[in-house]
Structure 1
C-alpha cells in the first residue's frame, strides 16, 4: 500500500518537470563516486557542468586546510585528488539538493521558511564537523539535509496536502503523524524513499534516520544520526516564532545534554556554538532570511486564508517562466495554485486536441489518476456549461450544481464522474491573437465541504491566471500542444 502511494507521489512530483532533473543529477553523482576510473572523468564532468559548484570545489581545495598539497589548485581533477572522491561527491549532493529547492521555491512564506530551516541545519552540521575529517563532515551534512527532504518534497510539490498537514501541526499533532494522517506515509518514509531512488549509499540512508533507534547501529552511523538530529532540532528551535531568548537557550541546552556525549563535545560548547550561529550573517544570507521570516511568521497564516493572494502568487510564478517552458509543468503549477488557493476538492485541465475534442491532460485530487482517461468531450457545440465556457472570454462559476436548471446543462460524462460536486468553476484559456479557446481549467468543491462562493476578486485572480496560461500555448507548435 505504501509503495503504491509513494509511486503516486513520485508521479505527481515528476509532473512539475524539475524534479526528474534533480533525481538524474544525484544518481549521476553517486554513480561517479563509485566509479574506480582513476581519471575521475565522470565526477569531474558533474562538477564542471555547474559553474558555482566548480568554484566552491576549487576554493575548498585551495583553503588553508589543504595548503600542504601545494596550493593554487586550478583544475577540478587536481581538486578531486586533494579532497578525495567521497568528500567532493557528498559536497555535490548537498549543493545540488539546496540549489534545486532554492530555484524551485514557490513564493510562499512557509516554503521559504522550511527551506531556510533545512539550510540552517546544514550550517549547524558543518560547524560541528569543520575541524574533523572532510569526508565524514560532508557526509554528515548530506545526512542532515536528507533528514528533511521528505518534508521539503511535500511542501514544494504537494501544496494542497501540505496545507492540511500544516494545520494539523499547528493544532499540536507531531509532524510525521500529521503527514501520515493525510498521505498514509510519514515525512521520514518519503525521505528514505528519495534516498533509495537517488541511489544514495546505505550509510547515508541509515544516518538520516531518528537517533536512538533499537537497530544497534555502528558507531559511525550513530555519530551521523547524532549530528543529523541535533542539527535538525537546533535549526527548528532557532526558527520557532514567538519564544523568548531564555526559552530558546534552555531548549538548546536540553538538546546539547542529550547529544553531547556522542558528538564528543561538552554541552556548554554546543550551546555556545548554536547560539552564536543564530546571530551570524552567513555568506548566502540564510540567517538574515530566517530572522526576517521569523519576524513575519504570522503572514503564513494570513496567506493560507487569502485565496486571492495565493492565486496572485501563482500568477507571478508563471510570469517568471519563459514562454517556451514545457507545457506539462506549467499546467501542473497552475492546477496546484488553484487547488490550494481555493481548497478545491479537485482540479482538471482539459486541452483541445486538433479541432475535434477536449481531453483531460492533468488532474489533481482524490482518484484523479484513474478518472483522467474517462474525461473529455467533443468540441462540437452542445447546450451545456462546458461549451458555454469555451465560448466565454472569462470564467463561469456554478454555485449549486444540483439546481434543476443547472442539472439540465451538465453533460452525462460530468454527472457520472463528478456526482459529488457542490459548486465548480470553469476557466477558459484563450489564445490572444485568435481569441480561440485552447484549454479549460475546472475546479470544484464537493458536498463534503462547507458551501461557499467565489468572490469577484477571486474570480478576477482566476481569470488573470487563465490569461497567463494562454501565453504558453501561443508559443507551442500544434503537434506539441497535443502531446501530454
Structure 2
C-alpha cells in the first residue's frame, strides 16, 4: 500500500497532540481507521516483528509529509481508555506487555522513538501494541533508558489515573500495594542498564500478578460453598488417610539432609504403593538405565527424587480413586488427567524447559477438581452433565451446581495437601486473549498446565471442530510457547505412545475403554505435512537398517548441544557444532548450512564440512522463485526431504539444473529451518553414490532433533 503522492484515499479525521510534543494523524480509508505516524527523514531501522509491536500496513504522503499507516482495527489508543481507570491488576498486565515489547527491542539493540499513551494501542482483551516499528532507533543506549522511564510514566498514569507529574504516586493512591509503588519508581529512575531494569521489572510484574490472582481466595457464597465441599470430603472414610500420605510427601523439603531416605520410608509404609511403583519403574518408560530395580531406594537414586516423588503422588491419587462402584466414570476423568499430565511434560521437554517433572503434576491436577467431584460428589457430577446436555456450558453447569469452578476446588484441595505454591498457582485458568511470555518458573508451569488442559479438551471434544480450533490456539500461545502446527501434532503423537504404555503398566488393561481408548487415537486434524504432498511420491523417504554407532554419536551430540544452549554461546559456533555432529555421526560427504537472502529471495550456502567445501559454497545457491524443485518444495512446505537417487526418472525433474551440473551427489537430505512461517534456511547433507545413505527412523528423529535445536538457538538469539 505504498503511496507516492498526495491522494485522497486517506481522509484525515483529526490531529492528535501527544504528551511528548509529537503529533499523530487519525485518518480513514475504505471504512477503516488508521493512525498515521510521521516517517523519519533519516534512514531508520525496522524493528523485528513481535506480537506487541504494531506493524504498519504501508505508508502514504499527505501534505508533503510521509507517514507510516497503522490500522487500529478494534483497538483504541491507551489515552482514550484511561478515563475508565483500570484496577491495579489490569494496569500491571498492560505494563507487562509494554516491558516485554521493550525487552524484545533492547535485545536487538533498538529503541522506540515515542512511548506514551497516544503511541500505545490497547485491544478489547487489554493487550498492548506499541507504535513505531518503522522508525526504531539503533544503538542508542540513552534512548533505551528513556523508553524505560517513559514506561514508568505510563505505569504511573495507569495506576494514578492522571498524567505523570512530580506528585508522588503514593499521594494519589495511598491504597496501592507498596511493591507496585516501588516498581514504578524503579522504572522512573532507571538506576542501571536499561535491559537489566526491563528484565527485572518484567519478572517482578508477572510474579506480582500471579500472587494477586490467586483465585482460590474466594469470598462470600463461593467461600461458603468451598468450605462445605471440603468438609464433606474430610468426613469421607478414606479421604483423611489419602490426605495424610500426600501431605507427608509434600512436606519433604530441600532442607531435609536425608530426604531420599524419608521419601523411601513413606512409600514403603504402603505395601500396595511400593509394588505398583516398582512395577512402573521397571516398565518400558523407565528402563533406559538397564537392569531390574528391586528397591525403592535404588529407584530414587537412579531416577531422581523429583521423578519418584511425582510418581508416588500420582499413584497414590489414582490408585485411591479407582476403588469405587462407579469406576468407569472415575476412570474416564482419571485417564484424562493422566493424559493431560503427560502432554504437559512432553510440551516442557520439547520446549527445553527444566520443569518437565513438575509439569506432569501441574498438567494432571488441571483435572483434579473434576476428579474429586466425580469421586466424592457423584450426584452433583451427574447433575452437571444433565445441565450440559440441556444446553448449558460446562463452566456454567459446574458453577451453578457446586457454587464454584472445578479449578477452585482442585487448587483449594492441592493447597490443603501442602503442594508448593508454584503448583497450586499453576491451576489458575487463563482469561481469554493472548497469553503472556512466562518470565519465571512458576509462570512457565502455569502456561504448560493451561496449554495441556486446553489441548486435552480439544482432543476429548467433537472431532468435527478440532481442526478449526488449532490455529487460534497456536496464536493464543505464540508468545508464551511458540509451537508450529506440525510440532504440535508430533508432541501429541509422542504423548499418546507414552499414554498407552502407562495404561498398560498401571492398570494392566490390554483394551482400555471410554476416554482412555479415545485419547490413544484422537487427533487435532490432518497432519500439516500430509495436506500438501510433494509433487512426486518418490520424494518420500525410505529407510533401512544401519549400525548402532550412528545413534550413539547423534545422541551424545544432542546432549552436547543441550548443554551449550543452557550457557552463553555464539549462534554460528553452535550451528557449526550441529553440522559437525551430522558429518561425523552419519558419514555425510558434505554437510552445509544454507540461509535465505531476503533481498534476492535466494538461499546461499554459508559454511559446512566436507571435501572442497570452500570451493562449493559460492556455487551452492537456490533461487526460491523456481518452485518446482526439491529445495524449494522443502522450504515452501516446511517438510524434510530425503532423495535416495537424484537420477531416478521420477526425481530428476525436481533436481535443479545447477545442482546436476555440480555433479555433487546422488543422495541427499534437506532439513528446512522455518521459524513461525519465516523461511530461514536449511541443513543439508549428501552422499556421492545413490542409495548410500541408509537411515533408520530413530536416526532420522535424532537428526530432526538437531534441526530443532538449531531453531531453538536461532529463536533464543532473536529474542
Tell me the TM-score normalised to structure 2 length.
0.36
Matched, 1:259 2:477: yes
Q: Which residue of 281, 294, 317 maps to 1:97?
A: 317
Give the superposition deviation at 1:284.
1.1
| Separation in structure 2 between the aligned mates of residue 205 and residue 264 of structure 1, nearest angstrom | 24
Give the superposition deviation at 1:272.
3.6
Give the superposition deviation at 1:96.
2.0
Q: Which residue of 365, 369, 372 maps to 1:150?
A: 369
Secondary structure of 1:32's match?
coil
Distance 1:84 1:272, change over 3 A: closer
| Separation in structure 2 between the aligned mates of residue 271 and residue 43 of structure 1, nearest angstrom | 37
Aligned partners of 2:346 and 2:356 also within 8 Å? no
Give the superposition deviation at 1:4.
3.6
Give the superposition deviation at 1:195.
0.9
- Specify the structure having the higher radius of gyration (Cα): 2
Q: Report what 2:7 is aligned to.
A: none
Aligned partners of 1:125 and 1:227 also within 8 Å? yes
Distance 1:186 1:62, change over 3 A: closer
Distance 1:256 1:101, change over 3 A: farther
Matched, 1:43 2:267: no
| Separation in structure 1 between the aligned mates of residue 494 and residue 470 of structure 2, nearest angstrom | 12
Distance 1:122 1:39, change over 3 A: closer
Secondary structure of 1:16's match?
coil
Q: Which residue of 189, 194, 212 maps to 2:413?
A: 194
Choose between structure 1 and 2: higher helix proportion: 1
| Separation in structure 1 between the aligned mates of residue 378 and residue 297 of structure 2, nearest angstrom | 42
| Separation in structure 1 between the aligned mates of residue 325 and residue 341 of structure 2, nearest angstrom | 18
> 1:99-147: CA deviations, max 9, x gaps?
222334614x544332232222123223324568897222111111111
Aligned partners of 2:340 and 2:456 also within 8 Å? yes
Q: Report what 1:269 is aligned to.
A: 487
Aligned partners of 1:113 and 1:293 also within 8 Å? no
Q: Which residue of 250, 259, 267 maps to 1:30?
A: 250
Q: Report what 1:54 is aligned to.
A: 278
> 1:286-308: CA deviations, max 9, x gaps?
9942468769xxxxxxxxxxxxx
Aligned partners of 1:207 and 1:228 also within 8 Å? yes
Matched, 1:176 2:395: yes
Q: Report what 2:382 is aligned to.
A: 163
Tell me the TM-score normalised to structure 1 length.
0.51
Distance 1:11 1:62, change over 3 A: closer
Choose between structure 1 and 2: higher strand proportion: 2
In structure 2, runs of 5+ residues without a counterpart are 1-219, 520-719
Aligned partners of 2:253 and 2:259 also within 8 Å? no
> 1:31-77: CA deviations, max 9, x gaps?
1245513262220022333211134346699643x57xxx7665433
Distance 1:34 1:167, change over 3 A: farther
Aligned partners of 1:87 and 1:136 also within 8 Å? no
Answer 1 or 2: higher relative contact order, Cα 8 Å, separation at least 6. 1
| Separation in structure 1 between the aligned mates of residue 326 and residue 368 of structure 2, nearest angstrom | 16
Which is worse superposed, 210-219 or 123-132?
Answer: 210-219
Q: Report what 1:88 is aligned to.
A: 308
Aligned partners of 1:22 and 1:96 also within 8 Å? yes
Q: Which residue of 432, 457, 466 maps to 1:248?
A: 466
> 1:218-275: CA deviations, max 9, x gaps?
432232122212222222222225x33xx33333444344335533543321134325
Q: Superposition RMSD on alpha carbons, in Å? A: 3.6
Q: Report what 2:153 is aligned to.
A: none
